[in-house]
Amino acid sequence: MEVALILLAAGKGTRMQSDLPKVLHAVAHAPLLEHAMASGAALSPARTVVVAGHGADQVRAAAQAFDDEAQVVVQEEQLGTAHAVGQAREALAGFEGTAIVLYGDTPFVQTETLEKMCDALKSNDVVVLGFDAADPARYGRLVMQGDSLDRIVEYKDATDKERAITLCNSGVVACKSDLLFDLIDAVGNDNASEEYYLTDIIGIARDRGLKATAVTCDEVETMGVNSRADLAAADAAFQSRARAAMLEDGITLMAPDTVYFARDTYIGRDTVIEPNVVFGPGVTIESGATIRAFSHLEGCHVARGGIIGPYARLRPGAELSEDVRIGNFVEVKNAQIAEGAKVNHLSYIGDATIGAKANIGAGTITCNYDGVMKHHTHIGANAFIGSNTMLVAPVHIGDGAMTGSGSVITSDVEADALALARAPQVEKPGMARKLFEMLKAKQQRGS
Ligand code: UD1
Ligand code: MG
């Protein structure tokens, strides 16, 4: 059966105290909405519909940045979760499969859980995802009759007896798409909040003699974000899950609690991550690399055997081939560094290509920016760049060439040549001693 996703993301999120729509706040460097879309995306949905409201343009941009085929519909007024789902009706016209409703502010529902719901739908008409809440608070309560779900009652509308139920509604619903919209048509707003509750479709389905049930999951999966404190807690939950998964997959984390991952961090087995490393978005590390302490990486690729850091910074577009060595206080941006090249100390390499086995001396800088435009530096294979060389781009250093320490290189250097671009050394015998004497005499006269 084909699947379509409906993501509810119209809410303002007042408690976030923010100009940014709630679902665009980030956990592990990705918007909450992207996490929710990603858990559903693993089901290869035929269609994905995001119901936006507050900050709809920003929400549309984020949704389509993750999935350019996602449709975004706008719910002008937030009249309740059933009304929100109703906005997806046209976008799903003609769709014959299963619709799954997800919340954009609930990032951690696991794909396996959604698969379990799809399974349960084979013998039911509506399936709801429930969880046993440690503190059921104001969640909707699932009223079960044996294995059947009889109805869902919202906290505000519940009796004391119903409030004593700890099995709660996560909000995730699976139902055949056309039936879902049929049921929504029958939902009214005669309740404590005067809202159109999606949860009412269960009672309506049962009254029509249809079958409903609940699938349950761990409470961490249904964790929603309503405040900055929730956001921090969600990030912490993500990080502890990511660390455990990395360890499971054969990656050594010397101090797991100090390593910060992004949603899309990929690391190959037998890589060693030292303490206090931060991964921003878009990082791929192949097998057997070492990322030493206090390094910061984003948008980069480190091939097998690379040794990065300590205190290295890899920025977007850093492409490191096998066995590259990037040492302390080195920043690399938009640069391809070929096999076995070394940039070991205190350098900036930006908008550059570096050939295999080149050695870049301490303090070397590619001067890539002229104040208006960026320019490229090429360093050939086996080149030796002397310490503190300024490479004023655009500039091309041939294979096997050398630059003298302290050079400011403004023209191309041909292969195998030595380029020196610094003031020649002048030596004045005895002059240092004379200067000292002069200065000391001056000091004595002064005191
Ligand atoms: C809802 C459920 C409740 C469940 C809880 C789980 C209903 C009536 N209640 O309550 O049973 O325990 O979630 O967190 O469904 N939204 C829109 N448009 C609207 C209203 C809501 O897009 O008109 C979105 C919100 O942005 C949010 C989600 O739907 O992402 C849930 O809405 P919210 O108002 O948080 O519902 P709850 O009262 O928490
Ligand atoms: Mg809520």
Confidence of residue 107 (pLDDT cuts 50, 70, 90): very high
Q: Taken in order 203, 209, 210, 213, is the CA torsion positive or negative? A: positive
Do 184 and 241 lie in one domain? The reply is no
Q: Is residue 12 part of a domain?
A: yes
Q: Is residue 26 part of a domain?
A: yes
- Three-class DSSP category at 251: coil
Q: Which two tokens stand for residue 442?
A: 């001056």
Of the candidates 306, 283, 287, 286, which has an alpha carbon nearest to the alpha carbon of residue 296?
A: 283
Q: Is residue 438 part of a domain?
A: no
pLDDT in tens, 306-315: 999 999 999 9
186 with 208: CB under 8 angstroms?
no
- Three-class DSSP category at 200: helix
Residue 375 phi/psi, 5° resolution?
-130, 160
* Buried/exposed code over 405-443 (b: 16+ C-beta within 10 A; e: otherwise): ebbebeeebeeeeebebbeeeeeeeeeeeeeeeeeeeee
Do 204 and 240 lie in one domain? The reply is no
> What's at 181, amino acid-wise?
F
User: Domain span at residue 334?
Assistant: 232-419
Confidence of residue 12 (pLDDT cuts 50, 70, 90): confident
* CATH number of the domain that residue 294 is part of: 2.160.10.10
Give CA separation, 405 vs 21, 239, 384, 409, 419, in Å. 52, 44, 10, 11, 10
Do 187 and 320 lie in one domain? The reply is no
Q: From the CB of 11, is ligand 1 less than 6 Å away?
A: yes
Do 214 and 243 lie in one domain? The reply is no
Q: From the CB of 105, is ligand 1 less than 6 Å away?
A: yes
Give the H/E segment covering residue 337.
Answer: strand 331-337
Give the total number of structural domains in the chain: 2
Give the H/E segment covering residue 349.
Answer: strand 348-354
With a pLDDT cut of 90, the percent of the chain lying above it is 99
Q: Is residue 430 part of a domain?
A: no
Q: Is residue 433 part of a domain?
A: no
Do 213 and 241 lie in one domain? The reply is no
Do 174 and 273 lie in one domain? The reply is no
Give the H/E segment covering residue 396.
Answer: strand 395-397
Residues with active-site annotation: 345
pTM: 0.93
Number of C-beta neighbours around residue 74 at 10 A: 14
Ligand 1 pocket test, pick from 81, 106, 187, 204 with the greatest ligand atom count within 8 Å of Cβ, gives 81
Do 201 and 263 lie in one domain? The reply is no
Do 239 and 93 lie in one domain? The reply is no
pLDDT in tens, 313-362: 999 999 999 999 999 999 999 999 999 999 999 999 999 999 999 999 99
Q: Is residue 442 part of a domain?
A: no
Do 274 and 217 lie in one domain? The reply is no
Region for 96 from its dihedrals, namely left if φ exceeds 0, alpha if ψ lies in -120 to 50, beta otherwise: alpha
CA of 194 to the centre of ligand 1 (A): 13
Q: For 374, which DSSP code? A: B
Q: What angle do helix axes 32-41 and 56-66 make, rounded to 10 degrees? A: 40
104 with 36: CB under 8 angstroms?
yes
Ligand nearest to the CA of 155: 1
Do 218 and 252 lie in one domain? The reply is no
pLDDT in tens, 117-158: 999 999 999 999 999 999 999 999 999 999 999 999 999 999
Do 68 and 167 lie in one domain? The reply is yes
